[in-house]
Amino acid sequence: MASKVPRVKLSNGQSIPILGLGTWGSPPGEVAQAVKDAIDIGYRHIDCAHVYQNEHEVGEGVNAKIKEGVVKREDIFVTSKLWNTFHRPDLVEGACRATLKNLGLDYLDLYLIHWPMAYKEGDALFPTDENGKTAYSDVDFVDTWKAMEKLVGLGLTKGVGISNFNSKQVERVLQVAKIKPVVNQIECHPYLAQVKLSPFCAQRGLVVTAYSPLGSPNRPWAKPDDPQLMEDPKIVSIAKKYKKTPAQILIRYQIQRGHVVIPKSVNKARIQSNFEVFDFELTEDDIKLITTFDCNGRLVPITSSDNSPYYPFKAAF
């Protein structure tokens, strides 16, 4: 079954479906079914990561659909990410192989450095020092990048990229890269529209993948009085105009900016609804209006790491 999702060409010749299923924070035990539902609906791009601790479920869902003959492996674009405790160059290949083992796959389509800062190596995903603060490793991400490039030659991943890197960090990777990063996956939604970082990446041949496009309503640290993007009256009124849901407007907003977008859900009706974004277009005025909501409203600031020299969110963009 061919999927009707448009694809975006990456600088290495690969193409990535512009809409994918995100799996961050999805409840354990529900991810495999969500992936199966998504593939049945027509999704061909699944985004996962070691730190989400559900890659085995993602793999279960993907492999079930391959076995049923709904899709072939090459029809599905699978992205995963190198966690912060594996930045040391000698650990990168093993981390990638562990992800592949969890997924039950022979290769990834895209493997990203999840964050620019490195954590202390070991079994803890969020290691701490004796004061309970984040424990870092002094690995520089440009050295991690060189190890990432080797994975392509080994056939473990087709493409490599970065995530949560600011403009200066993107530039530093490009200066050393023999294989260029094809994607920078960043938080992006109307409250954090990335009006500088997005064109900066595009000019350098990196495609932006937008995570938390719906404002990450289920993020564990949300406070009761935090603004809810999907309830924003201005978004709601645009949704009414198009007879669409606020989520569909927010997803369409990213697509029309040329961003790959990975909304997350385990609810079949919502996974279906999030997919129904190819039968309408926002006007340029709508897009301009939505972009004016930008207030640098970062929802995933990972402030526990803001004392790392590689913390990305102190730069202008």
Residue 45 marked ligand-binding: no
Is the separation of the CB atoms in 215 and 189 below 8 Å? yes
Q: Is 111 a residue of the active site?
A: no
User: DSSP letters of 62-112?
Assistant: HHHHHHTTS--GGG-EEEEEE-GGG-SHHHHHHHHHHHHHHHT-S-EEEEE
Cα separation, 32 vs 35, whole angstroms: 5
Spatial CA neighbour of 8 closest among 189, 153, 161, 118: 161
- 278 Cβ contact partners less than 8 Å away, ≥ 6 residues apart: 4, 5, 6
Is the separation of the CB atoms in 47 and 20 below 8 Å? yes
Instruction: Given the residues 52, 136, 211, 310, select the one marked as catalytic.
Output: 52
Among all chains, which residue has been given the structure tokens 């963009």? 317
Per the annotation, binding residues are 114
Catalytic positions: 52
Per the annotation, binding residues for substrate are 114
